[in-house]
Amino acid sequence: MKPAPFEYHAPRTVEAALDLLESEGPDARVIAGGQSLVPMLALRLARPEALIDLNRIPELSGIRKEGSTIHIGAMTRQAHALASSLVFEQLPLLHYGLEHVGHPPTRARGTIGGSLSHADPAAETPAVMLAYQARMVLRSKQGERVIPAEEFTFGTFETALEEGEILTEIRVDARPEEGTSLVELSRRRGDFAMASAAARMSLAEDGTCASAHLIIGAVAPVPLRFDAVTDALKGRTITESLVREAVELMDLDQFEFDNVDISLAYRRKIGPVLAERALLQAFNRAEGLRK
């Protein structure tokens, strides 16, 4: 469990990191919190020639609000975001999602951008960002581009990041008025989910559902959006039976993962249950906000 030899660089600015990424070529990798990459290095499953460590670049960390947009630096620690009152008030779904990410020691190192760039299908952060329709800021020597979350995550461990490019920031519209929920089932708390459901809901003046989003994670290479379910809720008064009917509209054919210990059939059974629970909790929280 010792990594193969590699060069190590610890640049102090994004510019310097991008220079290194260019000069070291395709066999270099950036390292963020290291919660996935370090074990892969130790197992020699990843063997980069060089590691470019982003941990000493202050400009990549921090959460701030500009207008109605929340800017999250890619190197912001998960623990920091979880403890952030700005996140809790403006992006509550991120807060609830992060509660399920690992454990306090892993969240103390793990970063928001690292998790997104790693793109584990069972990770909560990509599902949350998809639910929020966040924008990803990608930088390279050629400049900066901003792409929506649904175009960022491609597949299992696959993202839109191109050679020489680093995810530097995530931009999300503040959503203080919504009820949100992230419900998941894992074999053991803190582990990757067997299935997860992320839900957002806002209510109209009359208490009916004004808008809703439902994302199911951990069942396919990328988190899945189920607009058919949420469309059936819009304009309606939310009840348990309505939600139960709506989740029956989930297209379970989109579920793909089938493992020896967690079968596809099982995921298809629990997916709608978790969706129902997430939507109902989001609704209850939205009601709570109405006072």
Q: What is the contact surface with another protein in residues (CB under 8 A)? A: 1-5, 39, 43-44, 185, 187-191, 194, 260-263, 266, 269-270, 273-274
Smallest gap from Cβ 111 to another protein, in A, equals 19
Smallest gap from Cβ 150 to another protein, in A, equals 28
Judged by beta carbon, residue 120 or residue 150, the one nearer another protein is 120
First to last CA, the chain: 55
Judged by beta carbon, residue 4 or residue 83, the one nearer another protein is 4
Judged by beta carbon, residue 249 or residue 273, the one nearer another protein is 273
Judged by beta carbon, residue 151 or residue 191, the one nearer another protein is 191
Sequence-distant (≥ 6) Cβ neighbours of residue 42 within 8 angstroms: 1, 2, 3
Tokens of 285: 């929280």
Judged by beta carbon, residue 5 or residue 288, the one nearer another protein is 5
Instruction: Of 245, 164, 235, give the one whose Cα is nearest residue 202.
Output: 235
Q: What are phi and psi of 214, to 5 degrees?
A: -135, 125
- SS3 call for 115: helix
Sequence-distant (≥ 6) Cβ neighbours of residue 21 within 8 angstroms: 28, 30, 52, 140, 141, 164, 165, 166
Where in the chain does DSSP place strands (E)?
7-9, 28-31, 50-53, 63-66, 69-73, 135-140, 143-148, 153-155, 158-159, 166-173, 179-185, 195-203, 209-217, 224-225
Judged by beta carbon, residue 150 or residue 256, the one nearer another protein is 256
Q: Which amino acid is at 243?
A: V
Judged by beta carbon, residue 26 or residue 39, the one nearer another protein is 39
Smallest gap from Cβ 184 to another protein, in A, equals 11
Smallest gap from Cβ 71 to another protein, in A, equals 32
Smallest gap from Cβ 125 to another protein, in A, equals 18
Instruction: Of 183, 189, 156, give the one whose Cα is nearest residue 259.
Output: 156
Smallest gap from Cβ 103 to another protein, in A, equals 8
Smallest gap from Cβ 270 to another protein, in A, equals 5
Instruction: Of 215, 211, 212, 217, give the one whose Cα is nearest residue 225.
Output: 215
